[in-house]
Amino acid sequence: MKRSKKDKQHLPDPQTEEYIKKLTVTDPLRESLLHRVITDLEISPGSRGLDAGCGIGSQCLLLAEAVQKNGQVTGLDINPAFLDYARLRVRSTGLSGRINFKEGDIHALPFERESFDWLWSADCAGYREPNPLPLVQELIRVVKPGGFIALLYYSSQMFFPGYPFLEAKLNAVFPRSTPFNSEMLPESHCLRTAGWFRSAGLVNIRSETFSRTLQSPLEDNIRLGMLAMFEMLWEKNKNKLSGEDRKLYEHLTRPDSPGFILNLPDYYGFFTYSLFQAERPASPE
């Protein structure tokens, strides 16, 4: 994707550039699941919503389809390089009239009270929050009475069929798939979001988990996405494994390995996302 001179004002550092590539490559893995989640939200056509922590804009595109031609989606992210990339993507879709982007922090949203009909955040708001209630209250602030808040989290996966012990060890040494640390209270874990919503005074709280099945034969773009997922989830921490476990991990994840797991003719795996949705109480008439 080429950048104009104007787009080069926030050129990402090499690490951010590499992360953007991984997010782009893994989009095909998540797209069908995210489409089901967003359809399940029953977003009103013509409504105005906020994608808090929009990253490279992947969900903004799906949300813009949901609000239809008279709706509006605002994508907010703290990383200007992500936003530049997101703007480039949107321009090529014909949805520019429905999507705009703004730089900012989800903990101090740069919007007036009750600016939006709904708020969405995927893989962002609620992760690694030692005290999540102030964040939830800030998200509520910009939603109109009667509007909803939806927080979506990557919650589990089984990518190595037949090797559950290895996968359990990998999850234990890398907190991305369990965004938590020993210093946090149990009620601060993202899967306790329903409790946060209740404490913040939200109503009509619901929780649901959506799964994405991966089954042979895998299309090329799915295989590439899976390789990126392995790297994003575990590569940085593989050295925390024992020598034998690290050798097995590389045996399963290297495309040139005779044991490359995605080459199994009967490969089966899955990952899940968990949705927490609630409404801001309507104002009394």
Does a structural domain hold residue 167? Answer: no
User: Does 224 fall in a domain?
Assistant: no
251: in domain:
no
pLDDT (0 to 100) of residue 160? 97
Give the tokens for residue 251: 């045996």
Handedness of CA 285, 205, 186, 19 (dihedral sign): negative
Return the CATH number at 57.
3.40.50.150
Residue 176 maps to a domain:
no
Instruction: State the number of CA atoms in the 13 A half-sphere of 277 facing the CB.
Output: 18
- Residues of the chain falling short of pLDDT 70: 1-12, 174-181, 284-285
28, 222 Cβ separation under 8 angstroms: yes
Per DSSP, the three-state class of 248 is helix
Domain assignment present for 65: yes
pLDDT at 200: 97
Tell me which residue range forms the domain holding 57. Answer: 6-159+186-215+271-279
Dist CA 51 CA 110 (whole Å): 13
* Closest CA relative to residue 76, chosen from 48, 101, 41: 101
> In this structure, is residue 256 part of a structural domain?
no
What is the helix (H) or strand (E) element at residue 24, kind and residue range? helix 14-41
In this prediction, residue 273 carries a pLDDT of 96
**Residue 190 counted as domain residue:** yes
Instruction: Domain count for the chain, please give it.
Output: 1
